[in-house]
Amino acid sequence: MSSPAEQLEAEYWLTREQLHELLCKSGDLPAAASKILMYVATAVPVGERVDESASAIGGKVGMSTSATSRAVNALLADAWLEPAGRVVGVQTYRLGAAVYVTLGISKTGAPVDQADRPLATVRHLPVPTPTS
């Protein structure tokens, strides 16, 4: 049986629902930036850094170096990503503050105080078109 301290240090991965919410709420990002964000969100546990260069990530998702650079800069500017230090001279990244605010979680994956979360989420249902 694990102690409470061990449970707090356990790896936390985003759930399917959280990834879906992140994808929907980051929808105004360019497609290239969205690809990079989703790669980082699914590559490592929450709060961890991806030990790959931006160009390596871009290559894995089929992007050119220039498109990858623009996408990463856009994500950094809006705090979707943050620098996570250098590994052998290569800049690495992790999820940024915008992701945690959007999902209402801390960097450990724990939910933030419910008083800070929105009271409701509005979703529009499709309206069927009448047929003649």
CB 94, CB 47: distance < 8 Å:
yes
Q: What is the pTM of this model?
A: 0.76
Could you tell me the residue ranges of all domains in the chain? 16-103
Which class would CATH give 16-103?
A: mainly alpha
User: What are the tens digits of pLDDT across the range 59-114?
Assistant: 999 999 999 999 999 999 999 999 999 999 999 999 999 999 999 998 877 887 65
Say if residue 51's pLDDT is above 60.
Answer: yes
Task: Report the distance separating Cα 60 and Cα 85, nearest Å.
Answer: 21
Task: Report the distance separating Cα 40 and Cα 57, nearest Å.
Answer: 9
Helix 65-77, helix 31-43: angle, nearest 10 = 80
